[in-house]
Amino acid sequence: MIEYYAAYLISLGIGIIAAIIGLGGGFLYVPTLTLIFGIDPKTAIGTSLAIMIFSSLSASFWYRKQGVILFKVALILIIPSMLASVAGSYLTTIVDARVLVAIFCIMLTMISLEMLLPWFRFLREIQWGPSFVLSTNVPHQGTQPVARIWYSHLIFWGAFGGLLSGVTGTSGGAIFVPALATAGIPVHYAVATSMFTIIIVSITGATAHATLGQIAWPFVAVYGAGAAFGAFIGANIAPHIREDQIKKVFGVLLLGIAVLMFQQKVLMGT
């Protein structure tokens, strides 16, 4: 019984962080499930994806009430992300997953530096083909400049986020948020849109793992409850945090994700 109380408190904290920076939380759910509660890695990944359904739904509900989810942008991200997620899962069967994860870790490190260092640029906006105009208003920060968003940019980075999800079992939010920010979308909107996108990614991945029996349902219930409440708290805190502060928190955590992922999946091969 004590372990379930601990699981609830852990997931509550992760849910808060995930909602504020727009990540699913899988980068923390998986290692806590394996290292603290002794769940095998494959089941931990499936359980993590199921938990993210709760946190992303909760955060998206409150972000929708705030009016900061860009549904058109999310839809364009979701389609290539789902397809690439399946491709990523298949890719791990023909290519050494450790090589793929090592490449992703290097890229995540570069993206984290972009969030932390104003002068550093890694992600590039893809400006090819048709586009549409987007105008946004960030709570407590006034109207932001109108941005022109290219479909090719969303499709490419949506697919890349899905590929990352398929290979590593995470949500893809580590790619979605900085990619949207690079396109000129204010971070608060990028975070909220990423959380909404993660709903579909999580459902797709969790369903696949459920058919394989790779989900620990008791932990889904406990972690899911904590994550949902944490996401509620995080979504209501986020509008009061400055954009530059969110970028710094995102950058630090992304760097931590890269290190943790490299240690667990490349060096240990779990």
Mean pLDDT, to the nearest integer, of 230-255? 90
**pLDDT tier for residue 232 given thresholds of 50, 70 and 90:** very high
pLDDT digits (tens, 9 = 90+) for 249-262: 888 988 887 887 78
Q: Report the percent of the chain where pLDDT is more than 70.
A: 93
CA angle 74, 77, 78 (to 5 degrees): 85
Integer Cα distance of 83 and 40 in angstroms: 27
Higher pLDDT, 155 or 67: 155
Higher pLDDT, 164 or 145: 164
Predicted pLDDT of residue 75 = 94
Instruction: Please check the confidence at residue 270 and state whether its pLDDT lies above 70.
Output: no
pLDDT digits (tens, 9 = 90+) for 170-198: 778 888 999 999 998 888 899 999 999 99
Best mean pLDDT range from 59-63, 81-85, 118-122, 129-133: 59-63
Average pLDDT, the chain: 86
Predicted pLDDT of residue 96 = 77
**Is there a contact between 193 and 185 (Cβ–Cβ < 8 Å)?**
yes
Higher pLDDT, 206 or 221: 221
Predicted pLDDT of residue 200 = 86
Cα(first)–Cα(last) distance of the chain, in Å? 28
Q: Report the percent of the chain where pLDDT is more than 90.
A: 37
Higher pLDDT, 47 or 208: 47
Predicted pLDDT of residue 243 = 85
Q: Which of 5-9, 31-35, 152-156 bottoms out in mean pLDDT, i.e. has the lowest?
A: 31-35
**pLDDT tier for residue 28 given thresholds of 50, 70 and 90:** confident
Mean pLDDT, to the nearest integer, of 74-87? 89
**How is 13-29 classified by DSSP, letter by letter?**
HHHHHHHHHT--SHHHH
Integer Cα distance of 135 and 182 in angstroms: 15
Single out the residue of 127, 123, 119 nearest to residue 147, CA to CA: 127
**How is the chain classified by DSSP, letter by letter?**
-HHHHHHHHHHHHHHHHHHHHT--SHHHHHHHHHHTT---HHHHHHHHHHHHHHHHHHHHHHHHHHT---HHHHHHHHHHHHHHHHHHHHHHHHS-HHHHHHHHHHHHHHHHHHHH-TT---------S-EEEE--EETTTEEPPPEEEEHHHHHHHHHHHHHHHHHHSS-SHHHHHHHHHHTT--HHHHHHHHHHHHHHHHHHHHHHHHHTT---HHHHHHHHHHHHHHHHHHHHHGGGS-HHHHHHHHHHHHHHHHHHHIIIIIIS--
pTM for the model: 0.85
